[in-house]
Chain A
Amino acid sequence: GDSVTQMEGPVTLSEEAFLTINCTYTATGYPSLFWYVQYPGEGLQLLLKATKADDKGSNKGFEATYRKETTSFHLEKGSVQVSDSAVYFCALSRGLIGDYKLSFGAGTTVTVRA
């Protein structure tokens, strides 16, 4: 079945450091890919998405490129801030008519120190 694998955390960084969170997926067909962020005490928010191969999603300084050849969707940010401390989830949807479920990775906790 479809699945998403994220790098294990926790990840601890200093402010202004470069952040990468690896995400690989297994799916049949042509899934859409998402990154969600969960700030402490809150629900998940959509951070960015990509719906086809080579698409790049970007938002709030974060970027991820849909790589079909490596089945990956790694999240990157060039200079993190303390406010980026959160749990990040990679997710996919198969994109099939009538199937609107998402498969989530286990989440990666990121802590940014001042």
Chain B
Amino acid sequence: DVKVTQSSRYLVKRTGEKVFLECVQDMDHENMFWYRQDPGLGLRLIYFSYDVKMKEKGDIPEGYSVSREKKERFSLILESASTNQTSMYLCASSLGSQGRLYEQYFGPGTRLTVT
């Protein structure tokens, strides 16, 4: 089974802190994604990556950056956390072009609270 793990289930940070959310997948997937989930808004794509050292902006990239130095790891960075970034953050991965499989596999999520 595909396993996507996220470094923390719950995180509390102060306004202005730099925050790192880590995601690791163990199935050699090419594609990785970061979403935030808010009530009534569903899932919104923040950033995604189709290859090592590659990144592209999603629908709501402002206030975030990402890093993908290794294929299995995709990090989301909040340079200076703000209270409006309090949310559930979900990481996902998918196989990529070879199998033409588009379904994504999700981690358990990190609930981030910024005070």
Cα distance, A20 to B100, chains bound together (Å): 30
Chain B window 32-45, contacts with chain A (Cβ cutoff 8 Å), 1 for yes, 0 for no: 01000000111101
A45 → chain B closest CB, angstroms: 7
Chain A residues contacting B42 (CB-CB under 8 Å) are 89, 104-107
Cα distance, A113 to B104, chains bound together (Å): 30
Interface: B90 (CB within 8 A): yes
**What residue of chain B has the Cβ atom nearest to residue A4's Cβ?**
B42
Mark the stretch among A11-19, A70-78, A93-101 that contacts chain B.
A93-101
Interface: B96 (CB within 8 A): yes
Interface: B74 (CB within 8 A): no
Q: Known contacts A93-B102, A98-B97, A100-B94: does B40 contact A106 (CB below 8 Å)?
A: yes
Mark the stretch among B11-19, B75-83, B105-113 that contacts chain A.
B105-113
Interface: A34 (CB within 8 A): yes
- Main SS class of interface, A: loop
Choose among B50, B103, B107 the residue that contacts A34 (Cβ–Cβ < 8 A). B103
B21 → chain A closest CB, angstroms: 13
Chain B residues contacting A105 (CB-CB under 8 Å) are 42
Interface: A69 (CB within 8 A): no
B→A interface (CB under 8 Å): 4, 31, 33, 40-43, 45, 48, 50, 58, 90, 92, 94, 96-97, 100, 102-109
Beyond A36-B106, A43-B4, A105-B42, 14 extra complex contacts between A and B, CB < 8 Å: A41-B108, A42-B109, A43-B90, A44-B92, A45-B106, A46-B105, A89-B43, A98-B97, A100-B31, A101-B33, A104-B42, A106-B42, A107-B42, A107-B43
Those 8 A-B pairs whose CB atoms lie nearest each other, nearest first: A43-B106, A93-B102, A106-B42, A44-B106, A104-B43, A43-B108, A100-B31, A43-B109
